[in-house]
Structure formats: structure tokens, C-alpha cells
Structure 1
Amino acid sequence: MPISEDTVGLHPSPAQLRWQQAGVAVFFHFGLNTFAGVEWSDGTLPAASFDPTALDARQWVAAARIAGAQHVVLTAKHHDGFCLWPTATTEYSVASSPWRGGDGDVVRELADACAEAEMGFGVYLSPWDRNATCYPDAAAYDDFYCAQLTELCTGYGDLVEVWFDGAGSAGREYDWARITGIVREHQPGAVIFNMGDPDIRWVGNEDGLASDPVLYVADWTPNDVHTDAVLGFAPRYLPPECDVSLRHGWFWHPFDEPKTVEHLLGIHYRSVGLGANLLLNVPPNRDGLIDRTDLAVLEEYSTELARRFGAPLEARIIRRDAGVWDAEFADQVEIDHLELAEALDAGQRVAAHRVLADSDVLCEGGTIGVRRMHSFTERAVRRLRIETDGIDPVLRSVRAFRTGVAAAPDMPTVAEYRAPEADIIVM
């Protein structure tokens, strides 16, 4: 919803604000699909095919750290219904696989690795289940699903994010009040993605791309997998998350390749750089490791981000008038990127902004939010003037960078950054 008197009173909860400030998380899609060479299996693949003989959750967490993540999200159960923990609800789990002699628990190993590395941990639990025989019985499946969610919310420490995927559930009504109530009761510090009683919402594509303006208040209306009784139609504070895979597919496949570093940088500018959050999928391979090719790309991407943005020049902010500030640097500096940040404690309030250097418009745009990055041709400046439109906005920080990059690529459309289509086949 556009920023107005009706939206400015809606502000982030402490959990939402922590999540927004973190900026980047890593997704791990892993399961039977990894071993079958498919993206969506139908719940009939044998549990015995799951056998990642070299699985190392510490290596996954190290890869997430390289990618700049503050937390990770694991597909504890995808649409096929196979559970990566030894659940009491079904035999279709790691307990029926040869991995670790049937005594393994991927969720436990990753949760422990995250705790050891002080990395946040989250879980994805697909509502759609193509294996559960009780799925056609809505009430019975709600009991089944809530039992699984309770296991995850009570057995693995604090969760940062709980991800509910709406795929496959068109026309299905789940007991969202009960489901999200479990998260609220056992994991009050977690944000809920996009379903039930959410805290964060989907950006609308799987290419990792937001667009200006990035609005944090949405008129959240139930769709065919939401229930009117739970959500109503009121505006709510719902910042967007941009999800995208490092590869074309969400699961690792031997014929697939990671995106280029330039592609990842473009995604960074169009997600984190616009004030949204980025959830980058890095799929473990059949050995249970992050592929060396993927690690190499992540290392190069991380190195370039650090080179560009690792040495910020902080400006002193002086308020001149309502919505107008001067940003002063200690000395004259040469810069080609500028990052603005808005104080969000009282909600999102900047609807548009422009930055002037010596009366010239250096850069301009719509929302600022938790962070907003601009690039431009290198310019020597000592003082900048920042003008904003909105309702009593508060500027939190101004940081500048000299990257040597004349300007970021033109902001791409979703189609321009979409990976070429590829058939996902059984290998």
C-alpha cells in the first residue's frame, strides 16, 4: 500500500526489524529430489535412496557465511512428504534411509552447526504433502501437520524463520490459526513467511528481484489457501523477501550450473539494494556437501561485495527542515555509490527521495526503508542534501563508497534476469 496516514502507524515487531536488518539468508533445498534428479517428486520415491555419505552441516554453514547470510532455512519437508528428521508422524523420513544407519537427523546436524557458528536457523515445512495418506482428510491432516510443526518448533532450539510454501495447495483450506499459533507459542522470535498469520511476504517472483517502491505495508487479503477468518482484509506490516536459487533448479542436479557473479550482483542490487531481504538458495549435492563450483562462485561474489562495500564512508546527518537533511563527510571524498537508511521503529515513512550535490541531482528514487543503494558516475563531494517526500520521515544513516564501478547495470526486468529454461529430468 502507498505510504499514507493509514500506513505509517504500522511498524515492525522486534522480530521483523531484526530480520530486516540482517538482510541476507541462505536456503538449503535438500532431500530425495537431490538423489532422483527432480524438482518435485510425487511422494513415491523410496526413502532408501537418501544416502548423503559425506554430509557436513558445518560446511553448509560456512558456505552461508561466505554468502553473507545471518541465518539459514532448511527444507525439513518438501512437497513429497519426506522428512529430514526422524519424525514420529510417518515412516517416510531419514529413519527409513541407510544414511547414518537410520539414526541420522539432518535438521539436528544443521541446527547444531548453526548454534556452534552463531548462525540463525529456520525451517521450511511444506503444507502440501504428496505422501501422507491422511492428506485428503483435512482435519486428520491438520493434526498430522501440526504434530510435525510442533516437533520442529520444540526440538531444535530457537528458530529465526518458519517458511510455509503455498505451492500445490490451491483450493485447500488448512487450519492456519492453529498452525501459526504453534509457531507463536513455541517460537515467538521467529518470523512467518507468507501464509496464515505472516510476518513477511513473498516478493512475487523466484528471480530474487524487487522493484521500486519496496513497500513494507501490504493490504493482505486471503487467497485460495488462506482463510478469511484468520486474516481479514486489514493492512499489515509485511516486508518482502526475495527468494532465488544460485542454480536454475532449487535442488542440486549434476547438469545444472550456478549463476554468474555478475548475475548475483545484479540480484543483490535489486533485492538488498532496494530495501528487501534476499533468501539465496544454495543446494547441497548428493554427497551432502555444497558443490565446489558453487563455493567458488560464492567466494568470488563475496569478495566483490567486500571490495565494493567493505570500507564505507560515514556521513554526519544534520536535519535542516521537515524531510530535508545535509549529509557531511569529514573531508572531500570521491564516491560512486551511496547507501541511505531510514529509521523504521515508527514504520516506513519515506515515499520518495532525491540526493543533491551542489544543486545537481546525484540520484533519486522511491522508498528507502531499511537500506537503499544508489550507484552513479564518480563524483567528488563534501556535503550532500537529501530531500524526502513522506510523512515525518527520519533518516537513520548515510554511507558512501568508492567502488571503481561507474554505475550498476540498468535495473533489469524479471524476464531479463530469468535463467534459461532447462528440463529437470530423472538421472
Structure 2
Amino acid sequence: MTVIPTAAQLAWQESAFGIFLHFGVNTFHGKEWSDGTLDPATFDPTELDARQWAETAAEAGAGHVILTVKHHDGFCLWPTDTTAYSVASSPWRGGRGDVVAELAEACREVGIGLGLYLSPWDRNAACYDDPKAYDAFYVRQLTELCTRYGPLTELWFDGAGSENRHYDWDAFMAVVDTHQPEAMVFNMGRPTLRWVGNEDGLAADPCWYATEATGVSIYDDRAQGLDEVRYLPPECDVPIRRHWFWQPDDLHTLKSREHLLAIWYRSVGLGAGLLLNVPPDRRGLIDTADRTRLLDFTAELRRRFAEPLRGELSPAGEGEIRVRFPGPVTFDHLQLGEGLAWGQHITGHEVLADGDPVAEGGTVGVRRVHATRTTTASELLVRFQGGGTLSSVTAYRTGHTTSPALQTQPPVITDKFDDRHPR
């Protein structure tokens, strides 16, 4: 069954890269998850600068940021009317601050999208054990966020802690449909994006967009109304260090540039989206070490793919595209793109350079990046199975070489830390 993406889904897939901002009362206590009892007076970032967050994301080439406006502890980064457990009860900005408003303004100024993470699980709300009362409470919070801060790129619904809990997703999605119909919906409710299934930032080949399950094991997809095949491209989330919230003692776990590049090849390079967590610290600033590593990683990506070598595409037969260059070109990377307006179709592909095989794989999707051996050729022939068509084939000479074992496979991550910490 072929399912068709929306224009908003295609735009999200083209954008590919976002920055996650885990920030809240946990930041000030060395916690990943807290139980809703931390004193809101301890939230006091003395130098908070949302413009620095947005400018860092924009400089890194991210299309959007996603802020944890309420994590599982229930502490809200905006002055909500639903609870006192928020920035309004903190000393920050004299209790008159609004992190979401400051970030929304900063994102508008630098020209990137704003997404919001609103945990369904709430360990502070007294009404949480009363499903009907809590559903109404959550609708009020979601309505505030969807009406106060302008257009939202993505709404991020984390399923952690909600095992066997059935929320009123019809009511929640009615809020989204009314106030933010273009926002992507991650993971729960009536999703338009799905979780890739791990917190290492890694997709797989094949990378399918059409599925009848989101791949999330913590709740029953069919109970959430996902009872048919739908177009749900995967998003790969991963922290730049071991933890999601900034911690004072884990600098040694900061991922190397090569690790981050390998993640990119195995997420964006396989046709998925990448959401890289780069959390603000206790000052309310993105840590200098994290910012430097992020920008080093993305600068290297720009360097590698700065000079595309494009040829003339023409059909060469059923399931074949020929690419002719004006003369011999030398390359070590190939990027393929599938035309997705009528759904994803390509199930397998191979690339021959002047008749010699240089790359092969499964799906292509919005993009498929191959690191190849250094090759000089005047013509490429791309054979693909499953129907559909290729919209682009681009070669690059990056100067980045791989071992023979990696020539048609994504790079291996070598400085692997245990990243399986709860969001």
C-alpha cells in the first residue's frame, strides 16, 4: 500500500536536522529524571540567553530547536495558569520570566523553527491519578503552548512513564488541529513522525517511511488509533554527551567529532531526521565545550559537501537512471534522492561508475549518502528496485576516505559510550 506524505512532512524531511534543548529544574540538581518535588526556587539561571541557543542552532545548520518545556517532573518553563510548579515560582527574572517566550522570539529573529516537548507523564500534578481531571489539565497546558508563542514546527510527546496509561488523545489532537495544524507530531497521539527506536541517533537500512506501528514498545500503537499504514518518517534523537540534561561531571563523555559524523551518516545519511541534544547549563547558556564540538562537527559536514558534482540525468531503462558528467570527475561520496511526492517506493539500489560497482544499499528516501572509494568516472548508472524514481544523484570529492570494508556502508562509531539514559 502506497501512502503519501503531506507537504509539511516533506519539508521536515528536507530540513533533516534539529537541536534538542533539555533544560529545567533538573539542570540545577544533577538529575535526569526527578519526582516533582524539587524546589522551584532552585531554578535560577543567572545568564540565560535564548538568543545564544538559537544562534548556535542556526550556525550549526539546524532547521529547528525543540525545548523541554515540561519534563516528567512537571516543572514548566512558562508561567502556566495550570500549576504553581513553574518559572513563576522561581527567583529567575523575579518570577516574571518565560523561557518559552524568550526562545520563541530568538527563533523568529534568527529564522529557525521552534518545537516544544510537553511530557504527558507529570510527577508533580496532584490530578495525575485522576485520568479525566488530568486530561483536562493537559489540554489547558497544551492550549497555552499552542496559542501563546506563534507557529510551532514540532510537538514532541515522550511516551516514557506512560506505560499502560491511556490519555484522551482525541482531545489533545483537537488542540493541535485547531491551533497548530502544520506542526509535526512526534511519537504519540496521532503522530506524523515516529521514534527510530533507540537513543543512539541511529537509523537502519532499509529506512522505511510507511509503517503500521511507530516502533515504540511502551504503548500499544493500535490502542492509540494507529490501525493502518501511515507515512511516518523516523527521527533519531541522541545527546551530545552521555546525559540529556547538562551535568557538571560528564565532560569526558562529550562525543568526538568523528562520532558525531558517524551518527550523521547513520541517520541523515540513511534518510532519517537527526535531533541532537545540546543542553543549556546552569548559567542558561550552551556549554562552551559542547558548542565548540557541535560547530566543529557541522563545519566539517559543510566542508565535505560544499562542492557538488552534478551530471545530466536521463532514463537508461526500466529502473535505471544514467548520470553523465561533462568530463571525468573524481569523487568519494555519492548522494541519492528519491522523488517522494507520491510516496516511498525504492527498495534496493546499486551504483556503477563507468561500469564498475561503487555503492549499493536498500532504501533511498529523501537522501541516501554513500562514502565510496575514491573513483574517477564520466558516467554513473543507478539501478533501483521497487518502482518510483530518483530525483537527484550528486557526487562529491570530500577528501574523506574509508577503509574498504566501509565503502558501501555507514561509518562505524568508535568512541561509543553507554547512551541509554532516560530522557
Q: Do these two structures clear the TM 0.5 threshold for a shared fold by scoring above it?
A: yes
d(CA) in 2 for partners of 1:417 and 1:369? 28
Query: Which of 248, 253, 256 is the equivalent residue of 2:250?
Result: 256
CA contact 1:127–1:166 (8 Å) conserved in 2: yes
CA RMSD of aligned residues (A): 1.8
Of 101-110 and 216-225, deviating more is: 216-225
TM-score, normalization by structure 1: 0.94
> Corresponding residue for 1:304?
300
Unaligned regions of 5+ residues in structure 2, if any?
none
Query: Which of 171, 175, 196 is the equivalent residue of 2:189?
Result: 196
Match status 1:322 vs 2:318: yes
> Corresponding residue for 2:270?
274
> Corresponding residue for 1:150?
143
Match status 1:52 vs 2:54: no
Query: Which of 360, 367, 376 is the equivalent residue of 1:364?
Result: 360
Q: CA deviation at 1:41?
A: 0.5
> Corresponding residue for 2:62?
69
Query: Which of 391, 394, 401 is the equivalent residue of 1:399?
Result: 394
Match status 1:116 vs 2:116: no
1:82-231 equivalent positions in 2, closer than 5 A: 82-220=75-213, 225-226=219-220, 228=222, 230-231=224-225
Q: 1:176 to 1:421 in 2, by over 3 A?
A: closer
Unaligned regions of 5+ residues in structure 1, if any?
1-5
Instruction: Give structure 1 regions of 4+ aligned residues with deviation exceeding 2 angstroms.
Output: 220-230, 407-414, 420-424
> Corresponding residue for 1:3?
none
Q: CA deviation at 1:405?
A: 1.2
Q: 1:234 to 1:145 in 2, by over 3 A?
A: same
Letter of the aligned partner of 2:210 in structure 1?
V
Alignment deviations for residues 313-363 of structure 1 (CA, whole Å, 9 cap, x no partner): 122211122211101222211000000000100000100000011221110
Alignment deviations for residues 258-298 of structure 1 (CA, whole Å, 9 cap, x no partner): 21101000000000000000000110000000011011111
CA contact 1:207–1:418 (8 Å) conserved in 2: no
d(CA) in 2 for partners of 1:61 and 1:423? 25
Q: 1:171 to 1:303 in 2, by over 3 A?
A: same
> Corresponding residue for 1:33?
26
d(CA) in 1 for partners of 2:59 and 2:183? 23
CA contact 1:377–1:407 (8 Å) conserved in 2: yes
Q: 1:37 to 1:192 in 2, by over 3 A?
A: same
Q: CA deviation at 1:420?
A: 3.6
d(CA) in 2 for partners of 1:364 and 1:273? 14
Q: CA deviation at 1:421?
A: 6.7
CA contact 1:176–1:226 (8 Å) conserved in 2: no
CA contact 1:247–1:256 (8 Å) conserved in 2: yes
Q: CA deviation at 1:223?
A: 6.2
Query: Which of 12, 15, 20 is the equivalent residue of 1:19?
Result: 12
TM-score, normalization by structure 2: 0.95
CA contact 1:325–1:385 (8 Å) conserved in 2: yes
CA contact 1:94–1:105 (8 Å) conserved in 2: yes
> Corresponding residue for 2:236?
242
Alignment deviations for residues 293-318 of structure 1 (CA, whole Å, 9 cap, x no partner): 01111121122111111111122211
**Identity of paired residues, percent?**
54
Q: CA deviation at 1:62?
A: 1.4
Alignment deviations for residues 196-232 of structure 1 (CA, whole Å, 9 cap, x no partner): 1100000000000001000000112796645746514
